[in-house]
Structure 1
Amino acid sequence: MNTTAKIGIAAVLLTVGTAMLVWASLDPSGTTTLLAVAGVATTLLAAGSLLMGSTGTDGRMV
């Protein structure tokens, strides 16, 4: 996967994760929904961050 694709995918993951956290914070009444959305959003943020940190064809982290 080339660097441009990694940056694009990571940007989408980070944007979606952030949007999900903001959406979940607007209505904190549904505890289970809030926890599920927060868990998925945090996973997306972590995946985006890891993808942004990987470089080269061997996937080393910087």
Structure 2
Amino acid sequence: MALVACPTCEKQVSKRALACPGCGEPDPARYHSRNTWLGRLFWLAVWAAIGALVWIKVVPLVMDVFKQ
């Protein structure tokens, strides 16, 4: 049986538990998967913004260098 730490009380809870027996947090295993998904989405947005900035600012400068 796999155990995860409850995000509220940090007690070990089964991944199949519907609620934490210690504090009553609903579906404590789902919290970790949701948190991981949001973290990945955040970093994807950061890298997309960096890519857009490079495309807008750096690519025209490089193109001007090669045109000359």
Q: Report the TM-score range of the alignment, normalised by the length of the smaller protein.
A: 0.3 to 0.5
Task: Work out which structure has the larger RCO, using CA pairs closer than 8 Å and 6 or more positions apart in sequence.
Answer: 1
Structure holding more helix per residue:
1
> Looking at CA atoms only, which structure, 1 or 2, has the larger radius of gyration?
2
TM-score normalised by structure 1 residue count: 0.43
Q: TM-score scaled by structure 2?
A: 0.39
